[in-house]
């Protein structure tokens, strides 16, 4: 049985970007013809875990998520392991809360390469919105571990400018369970859920446990026009009508949904192509990272507890003025929790016997890692997402291999300065290993020949179709992608309100 509902706007995906987009449009937008409050649906495939009295740490949530070692997630049928998690809030309730906004060079790349107006100045209000709401700040020095201090001192000694990680948290007691996919008992980690009350208070309708099958597109000339979505909920197929649909399903999910809707490259979609755009699912950009294990002779952190996200700095390749080859150095696990079963399998661990158990007595306080990674690969290196399976591929490049080997030498110098032992294992190539913190699979640009959406987040060929998430930004940023996805939601909301949901349009 098919039911039908009607809205002014449907947002697909209540994750990092979708909730923020929906909340800000619900709050600031109006029906441009009538001046009425907008009817907005926020549709999410996963469940909504809500509490009965204020906030988002209801007894159900608190019992289920906090204080559970991360393997426990695998045993919860309702919520599969977080890296495939579908729920209202998306990744944000269980991310590590590392929150790096774009840097100058990132904005410059977007503007120069794709001829869009995403300047730092134009995006500032959106960035401020997310940074303030999620309480993004540099980790306080008082929370640094011994390992953090050692790493920072090594960075200074090598002439860099080390900083504490930017993290999104409030009222954190630094228990350490913020990372590795844990939920937080007190919702201390900045989460897109913090925007949800705004959405609901302004009349938004949250539809959870609803899997969107496709965005409904009608052919119009050479392009198309959006008429709504089709989704499944509780075994029923439901049609929701709207002439504006914003897809916020992430770098991997958004291009797949567009493909299911008949929007994408004919070479992949074949006879199911309704409107062609060769860039849907293409142009996957992202970082190539590698974690080099180290071990100290003395404890460098508290056993089984964590403090900060770590220390980081950048190393730029002087051969490039556009940031290509930018590498981020970061200390990993030098202040975060190391779990005993992970330490037991460390390559520093003896094979077996008494020696192994002796190693284990202090291992979780002495193990760490130096994380190195090319954040900004060369512009010609792009991966792609398979629009049928969602699998993604990233080819890598000789330059990335060479750059990773180059900075590995620096990592060895850092280890010497920290007086720790460093693993000498290192991949012979990074081809096929990159594309982390992915972006660009529905990228923005001024021309349909090289992009999917315009600078206002609307699809070039399909009227009323928007994409706002990590897939939207066209080139990898200097650091993690989570907060950038959130910023995309906030920025797209402002553009959509300006263009469609305000008086005088």
Partner 1 sequence: MSTQRATRRQFIKRTGFSVASFSVLVQEGRGKSLQQYLEEISPDLEPRDVIAALGDTLIPTYEPDYPGYRRLEKHGITEEVLKGLKGVGKKDFLTFNEVSKDFFGKPFMELDEEKRADYVDFVMGLFPEGSFGVSDFNALSRTESHNRDVSDLVESAELIDEPKELDKQVAMVLQRIFKLCRTRVLTVFYRNFPYHTIERDAEGMPIPTDQEHQIINPNKSDIITGWDIANFRGPLSWEEELERRDRFMKIHWHGEQEKDNIY
Which one of the spans 6-14, 200-208, 261-269, 301-309 is the region binding partner 1 (CB under 8 A)? 301-309
Residue 412 touching partner 1 (CB under 8 A)? yes
Nearer of residues 156 and 426 to partner 1, judged by Cβ: 426
Helix (H, G, I), strand (E, B) or coil at 204: coil
Residue 158 touching partner 1 (CB under 8 A)? no
Residue 422 touching partner 1 (CB under 8 A)? yes
Residue 426 touching partner 1 (CB under 8 A)? yes
Find all residues with CB under 8 Å of 216, minimum gap 6, and list them.
226, 227, 228, 229, 230, 239, 261
Q: Which residue from 91, 207, 415, 442 is in contact with partner 1, where contact means CB under 8 A?
A: 415
CA distance 294 to 312: 16
Helix (H, G, I), strand (E, B) or coil at 499: helix
Nearer of residues 94 and 260 to partner 1, judged by Cβ: 94
What token pair was written down for 448? 């349909």
Residue 492 touching partner 1 (CB under 8 A)? no
Burial state string for 25-36 with b = 16 or more CB within 10 A and e = fewer than 16: bbbbbbbbeeee
> Residue 400, class by beta-carbon neighbours within 10 Å (0-12 exposed, 13-18 middle, 19+ buried)?
buried
CA distances from residue 451 to 116, 262, 283, 440 in whole angstroms, order as listed: 11, 17, 9, 9
Count of chain residues binding partner 1 (CB under 8 A): 70
Instruction: Please choose, from the candidates 119, 404, 479, 465, the residue with its C-alpha nearest in 3D space to the C-alpha of residue 261.
Output: 465
> Residue 230, class by beta-carbon neighbours within 10 Å (0-12 exposed, 13-18 middle, 19+ buried)?
middle
Helix (H, G, I), strand (E, B) or coil at 247: strand
Helix (H, G, I), strand (E, B) or coil at 422: strand
Q: Which residue from 28, 50, 137, 291 is in contact with partner 1, where contact means CB under 8 A?
A: 137
CB of 207 to partner 1, least distance (A): 24
- Between residue 90 and residue 109, which ones bind partner 1 under the rule CB under 8 A? 101
Find all residues with CB under 8 Å of 409, minimum gap 6, and list them.
none
Nearer of residues 349 and 417 to partner 1, judged by Cβ: 349
- Between residue 162 and residue 191, which ones bind partner 1 under the rule CB under 8 A? 164, 166, 172-175, 177, 185
Instruction: Please choose, from the candidates 319, 300, 301, 315, the residue with its C-alpha nearest in 3D space to the C-alpha of residue 413.
Output: 315
CB of 131 to partner 1, least distance (A): 5
- Between residue 315 and residue 374, which ones bind partner 1 under the rule CB under 8 A? 339-341, 343-345, 347-357, 359-365
Find all residues with CB under 8 Å of 348, minimum gap 6, and list them.
293, 295, 359, 363, 367, 421, 423
Nearer of residues 423 and 450 to partner 1, judged by Cβ: 423
- Between residue 427 and residue 456, which ones bind partner 1 under the rule CB under 8 A? 428
Q: Which residue from 271, 424, 503, 504 is in contact with partner 1, where contact means CB under 8 A?
A: 424
CA distance 78 to 426: 38
Nearer of residues 35 and 351 to partner 1, judged by Cβ: 351
Q: Which residue from 423, 446, 450, 463 is in contact with partner 1, where contact means CB under 8 A?
A: 423
Residue 63 touching partner 1 (CB under 8 A)? yes
Find all residues with CB under 8 Å of 417, minimum gap 6, and list them.
153, 154, 157, 158
CA distance 207 to 199: 12
Q: Which residue from 6, 141, 211, 218 is in contact with partner 1, where contact means CB under 8 A?
A: 141
Residue 477 touching partner 1 (CB under 8 A)? no
CA distance 117 to 122: 7
Which one of the spans 70-78, 152-160, 449-457, 468-476 is the region binding partner 1 (CB under 8 A)? 70-78
Nearer of residues 415 and 486 to partner 1, judged by Cβ: 415
Nearer of residues 12 and 168 to partner 1, judged by Cβ: 168
Residues that bind partner 1 in the complex, under the rule CB under 8 A: 59-60, 62-64, 66-69, 71-72, 75-78, 101, 128, 131-132, 136-138, 140-143, 164, 166, 172-175, 177, 185, 303-305, 339-341, 343-345, 347-357, 359-365, 412, 415, 421-426, 428
């Amino acid at each position: 049985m098919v039911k039908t509902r009607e809205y002014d706007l449907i947002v697909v995906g209540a994750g990092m970007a979708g909730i923020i987009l929906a909340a800000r449009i619900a709050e600031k937008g109006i029906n441009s013809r009538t001046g009425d409050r907008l009817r907005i649906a926020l549709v999410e495939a996963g469940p909504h875990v809500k509490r009965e009295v204020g906030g988002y740490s209801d007894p159900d949530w608190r019992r289920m998520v906090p204080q559970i070692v991360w393997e426990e997630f695998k045993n919860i049928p309702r919520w599969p392991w977080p890296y495939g998690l579908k729920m209202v809030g998306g990744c944000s309730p269980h991310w590590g809360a590392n929150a790096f906004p774009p840097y100058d060079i990132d904005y410059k790349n977007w503007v120069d390469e794709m001829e869009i107006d995403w300047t730092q100045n134009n995006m500032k209000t959106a960035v401020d919105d997310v940074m303030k709401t999620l309480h993004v700040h540099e980790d306080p020095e008082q929370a640094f571990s011994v390992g953090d201090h050692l790493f920072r001192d090594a960075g200074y000694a090598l002439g860099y400018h080390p900083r504490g990680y930017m993290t999104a948290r409030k009222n954190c007691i630094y228990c350490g369970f913020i990372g590795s996919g844990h939920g937080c008992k007190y919702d201390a980690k900045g989460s897109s859920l913090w925007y949800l009350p705004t959405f609901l208070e302004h009349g938004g309708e949250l539809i959870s446990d609803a899997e969107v099958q496709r965005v409904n597109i009608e052919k119009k000339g050479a392009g198309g026009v959006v008429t709504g979505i089709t989704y499944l909920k509780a075994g029923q197929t439901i049609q929701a009508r709207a002439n504006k649909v914003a897809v916020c399903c992430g770098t991997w999910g958004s291009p797949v949904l567009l493909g299911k809707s008949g929007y994408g490259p004919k070479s992949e979609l074949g006879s199911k192509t309704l409107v062609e755009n060769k860039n849907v699912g293409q142009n996957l950009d992202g970082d190539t990272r590698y974690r080099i294990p180290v071990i100290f002779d003395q404890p460098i952190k508290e056993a089984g507890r964590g403090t900060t996200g770590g220390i980081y700095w950048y190393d730029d390749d002087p051969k490039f003025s556009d940031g290509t080859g930018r590498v981020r150095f970061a200390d990993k696990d030098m202040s975060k929790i190391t779990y005993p079963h992970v330490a037991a399998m460390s390559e520093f661990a003896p094979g077996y016997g008494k020696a192994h158990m002796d190693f284990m007595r202090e291992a979780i306080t002495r193990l760490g890692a130096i994380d190195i990674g090319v954040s900004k690969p060369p512009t010609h290196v792009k991966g792609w997402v398979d629009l049928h399976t969602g699998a993604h591929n990233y080819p890598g490049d000789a330059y990335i291999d060479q750059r990773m080997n180059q900075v590995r030498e620096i990592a060895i110098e850092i280890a010497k300065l920290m007086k720790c032992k460093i693993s000498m294992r290192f991949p012979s190539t990074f081809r096929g290993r990159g594309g982390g913190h992915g972006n660009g699979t529905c990228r923005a640009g001024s021309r349909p020949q090289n992009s999917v959406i315009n600078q206002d987040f609307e699809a070039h060929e399909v009227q009323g179709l928007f994409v706002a998430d990590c897939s939207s930004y066209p080139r990898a940023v200097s650091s993690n992608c989570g907060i950038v996805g959130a910023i995309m939601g906030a920025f797209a909301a402002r553009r959509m309100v300006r263009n469609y949901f305000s008086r005088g349009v």
